[in-house]
Structure 1
Amino acid sequence: MPFLLLAKNVRFVALLLIFCNLGLLSACKEDLVEPVYFGGVTGTVRDARTNLPLANATVTTNPATSSYLTDAQGKFQITDIPVGRLAITVSKTDYQQVVTNITVNEGQTADVSVVLTKSTVAAISAPNRPTPATQATNQPTDVTLSWRPVNATASDSLRYDVVLFESNSTLQRKLLTNSRDTSVVATGLKYNTTYFWQVTVRNPAGSTARSDTWSFQTRALPDNRFLYARTVAGNTDIYSSDNTGGGLLRLTSATTVETAPQLSPNRDLIAYASNASGQFQLYTMSRDGSNQRQITTLSAESYNNAGIGYRWSPDGAQLIYAHYDQLYRVNRDGTGLTLLATAPAGRHFRECDWTVQNGGRLVVQTVGSNPYDAELYLYNVDGTNPVLFVSNLPGRLDTPSFSVDGLAVLYSRDVAGFNDPGGRQLDAHLFLQRVDGTATVDITAGATGTTTKTLGTNDIQGHFSPDGFRVIFVNRVNDDLSAPEVWTMDIDGRNRAKLFSNAFWPDWK
């Protein structure tokens, strides 16, 4: 037994030595290392909407290499990249980040194109540098408003809204909506008024920004002393200007007829006639054309009278006007309508005037169904005591108007005595006749009796100048085909001078 145990132990030791030797041999064997291969990547980064290159975009990789920026042409280049899969991440402020996966091959340079889309939360700056500059004064009533975008380029496709509102008013006027324009014209503004305006900008991503609220003040209302009607392209409207036609203001612009303007004696309101309601009615408006208001409900019409038969009272508080065979007085606000007189049977009232001098008088024209069938009457201011002043003479008789002192009446009459049912005149002159009937002067003929009026024309629609030493009137070719003209001359017929072309029913105060 001891021998057998010893033999077993010897075999165990031998085996143990063999295993140890094998382990030592294994530990001494050399490890093998795989070689590393490299490639490269080039790329271009562009804007998704414009396809323009994007500079200064950040490029990173995974596995990590380094961080790169695109150049001015939107390009980048990465070298010595281990072969295999590579994730390229491109990012830029205001753009959505993009990740592109590629395979890098040994000894080759891969080329990639990356497109970035603007972020939906892209920042946007409010416009600035307004024109006119904020708090500017003396601006026209048709003014161009402009502004500058901030930190923007044409490729940003910005859109603008512009609102305008008047001081002491909450009503906003939209001048632009969703427009690419960076300027807009605000028209029809009031004189001597402060306006405020603001611009809202938005980008295609929906971000918006609002400018400061800017302001400007329009210039003072021109002190235009002349009013007249003018027909342009078949539309008759009312204008004001100075004596040279400068400072021209178009006061009405409706498609209906607005005519026969008269400035009130205290120069605060303009009365005029309009057929906007279907019949000629009397209206008033401010001197800049605003606050237009109808003041009559009984029409201002009669035989050959399309709204022209009315006149202010000398104090500007009332008006008188003809309504067929009736003469009315009405307050300037349309209240207090009062019947003053009724015309003789078969006749209508037409043009009229009112003086406060010498106790006060009215002079009123009456007409029959034919325009040349006309007479002039003098009335008390309350419409009583009619006295025939100028009887029915051959030819048309029109437009009676008191002198400044109320001692004489100016009117026109066709000295050719042409009785035309259509109302045509051949040789109308202006006459001045004293109210006591003692003298009648042909102003057109002048002191010498030799007129400088052009043959074949009519002097009509005459009124005295504010100083009483001149008259303003219309001269028109007697075929009524050429445009009428407004002229002035001295009360003795001298110094005839044309003021305005294509103008009629003048008023001078």
Structure 2
Amino acid sequence: MKHKNNKILTIFLMVFILWACEEDTIGQGELGTITGKVVLEGENTPLENVKVTTNPVTNTVFTDVDGNYTLAEVEVGEYSVQADLDGYKTAFEAAKVVADKTVNAVIEMQNENVDNKVPEVPRLLFPADGAKSIQSPVQFSWSSSKNDDDETLYTLELRNGLTNEIETFTKLTDTILSVDYLDIGANYFWQVTVSDGINDEVSSELSGFSTLNPVDNRFLYVRNLDGNNVIFSGMPLAENAQENTNEVRLTDIGQNSFRPKKNPKNDRIAFLRTVGAETHVFSMDAKGTDLVQITSAQPILGFRPEELEYCWTSNGEHIYYPQFNKLYRIKSDGTGNTLVYAAPATEFISEVAVNPVNSFIALKTNDQFGYAAKLYVIDPADGSQKHMVQEGLPGAIGGIDYAADGNRVLFTYDVSANENDAYRQLDARIFEFELATSARREILTKKPAGYNDLDVKYAPDDGAVIYISTSNDGVSKKDIYITGYNEIDQRTKYFIDGIMIEWH
């Protein structure tokens, strides 16, 4: 029995040894190698430092500078070789490992944004290419480039064709941009570029336009913007229009500039500007450039700066301006300031007008409250009084001007005779005084009850008068009207929201 058991044990050991030897031989023969390269799809550019793994899991390796990788000692079988790299889509390639063989698996990867849409090319809408007489501020507009969920940011580049200066507006999220302070009468070129932060930037076509040239505008006037008076030039309202025609801003919104006066001999425009606590006389060209400060040591002073008037001499070489009770004459370049006339100390000179025929000067004086007003004419050569137009009446006088023939003086007078601390006028009307006969007449303008006609001026041909019309409440909007001599008791609105009108 013992012999039989030993025989069985011996047979069992021999079978076990044979099985073990066979398993070792098969295992060594079932290992293979996977090699390959990882490249950018469509370009075959090698990708470095790509993480390469398999499924089922074997080894993890990274590609070298040439995009090559090697997975060694991989058991035979079918695998999915996986490639991962930040900024790219995960890619897969099938590989069948054969014992003692090397299989090659080239993996092509795509940029993770390969399916992202390129933004559409912006179409420039306004100003249209070749547009002329565009008024500032300009509201640029263009079509949207958005065609997916990506954030789109626009850049507008604006080049001045005269100076070649380039202004760039970046990180715009809207397709509308308002730009102010464009040069007057200049050519501009503009282009919009869009970026979604993923694809290459896309640019619109280049477009050009020109801004309004104010040289042909026949009127100067003032509007209040953001608390400052601003000077504009323009043309009369078109029929049924709701905006002023050809309106061009000539002075900065950030500075208080008012009371424009056209030089009778050239295109220079004088005006008043607040400088610190003082008011000074400046001049500029018809485009609002080439500024010259005329007064410096002796500013214009008197009752309320906005009520003060000054004027050019008939030859356009000098300016007359008041300083309390004194009248000065200064050259247009700021030199040669001379005292011309002095009224009594308690009489402030507020308004000045020069006779275009004989250079006599019409003066309006008043007390420190604007009343006790006088309107008279002097000879600046000796200071003698030539005519008394009006004195001794209660109420406010203003808006003096000479007719082209030199024989008539235009002014306004508040016939209500009301006097108050606010200098509020209740019924200001337009009057004309004939120097030769001392006759005074009212110019009828069909003025509504409760309104004032103020700041009146003759037309250059004396065929009409132009003036400010406003409610006597002292706070309502002021508009500019004209009445022709052949249209007595009629009025036509010329400008909306304007004061201090001047023929250009």
Q: Does 1:462 align with 2:456?
A: yes
Report the equivalent of 2:500: 505
Instruction: Judge conservation of contact 1:58–1:90 (CA < 8 Å) in 2.
Output: no
Structure 1 SS opposite 2:85:
strand
Structure 2 SS opposite 1:248:
strand
Whole-angstrom CA distance in 2 between matches of 1:102 and 1:133: 67
1:476 counterpart (470, 474, 479)? 470
Calculate the TM-score normalised by the size of structure 1. Answer: 0.68
Q: Does 1:218 align with 2:210?
A: yes
Whole-angstrom CA distance in 2 between matches of 1:486 and 1:43: 82
Report the Cα offset of residue 302 of structure 1. Answer: 0.7
Q: Does 1:439 align with 2:439?
A: yes
Measured at CA, do residues 367 and 200 of structure 1 come closer, stay the same or move farther in structure 2, by a change above 3 Å? same
Instruction: Judge conservation of contact 1:476–1:485 (CA < 8 Å) in 2.
Output: yes
Report the equivalent of 1:56: 42
Q: 1:178-228 CA deviation, whole Å, 9 max, x = no partner?
A: 8899997654222333457899999999xx99x9x9795624504222222
Alignment of 1:134-173 (within 5 A): 138=132, 140=134, 142=138, 144=140, 166=160, 169=163, 172-173=165-166
Letter in 2 for 1:115: L
Report the equivalent of 1:371: 370
Structure 2 SS opposite 1:302:
coil
Structure (1 or 2) with the larger CA radius of gyration: 1
Matched residue count = 431
Measured at CA, do residues 443 and 159 of structure 1 come closer, stay the same or move farther in structure 2, by a change above 3 Å? closer
Structure 2 SS opposite 1:249:
strand
Letter in 1 for 2:80: A
5+ unaligned residues in a row in structure 1: which ranges?
1-31, 46-53, 62-75, 119-127, 445-450
Measured at CA, do residues 161 and 101 of structure 1 come closer, stay the same or move farther in structure 2, by a change above 3 Å? farther
Report the equivalent of 1:107: 77
Letter in 1 for 2:463: F
Calculate the TM-score normalised by the size of structure 2. Answer: 0.69
Alignment of 1:476-495 (within 5 A): 476-491=470-485, 493-495=488-490
Letter in 1 for 2:294: I
Measured at CA, do residues 184 and 304 of structure 1 come closer, stay the same or move farther in structure 2, by a change above 3 Å? closer
Report the equivalent of 2:347: 347
Report the Cα offset of residue 420 of structure 1. Answer: 2.7
Whole-angstrom CA distance in 2 between matches of 1:467 and 1:39: 104
Report the Cα offset of residue 108 of structure 1. Answer: 3.4
Alignment of 1:120-269 (within 5 A): 138=132, 140=134, 142=138, 144=140, 166=160, 169=163, 172-176=165-169, 187-194=180-187, 216=208, 218-222=210-214, 223-244=216-237, 245-266=244-265, 268-269=267-268
Report the equivalent of 1:16: none
Report the Cα offset of residue 156 of structure 1. Answer: 11
**CA RMSD, 1 decimal:** 5.0
Structure 2 SS opposite 1:275:
strand
Measured at CA, do residues 179 and 340 of structure 1 come closer, stay the same or move farther in structure 2, by a change above 3 Å? same
Identity across the alignment (%)? 24
Report the equivalent of 2:279: 280
Instruction: Judge conservation of contact 1:301–1:309 (CA < 8 Å) in 2.
Output: no
Instruction: Judge conservation of contact 2:162–2:187 (CA < 8 Å) in 1.
Output: no
Report the equivalent of 2:399: 399
Structure 1 SS opposite 2:275:
coil
Letter in 2 for 1:398: G
Structure 2 SS opposite 1:274:
strand
Q: 1:150-200 CA deviation, whole Å, 9 max, x = no partner?
A: xxx999999998776656658x45424688999976542223334578999
Whole-angstrom CA distance in 1 between matches of 2:443 and 2:177: 52
Measured at CA, do residues 55 and 293 of structure 1 come closer, stay the same or move farther in structure 2, by a change above 3 Å? farther
5+ unaligned residues in a row in structure 2: which ranges?
1-24, 89-120, 238-243
Structure 1 SS opposite 2:258:
strand
Report the Cα offset of residue 403 of structure 1. Answer: 1.0
Report the equivalent of 1:124: none
Measured at CA, do residues 56 and 422 of structure 1 come closer, stay the same or move farther in structure 2, by a change above 3 Å? same
Structure 2 SS opposite 1:371:
coil
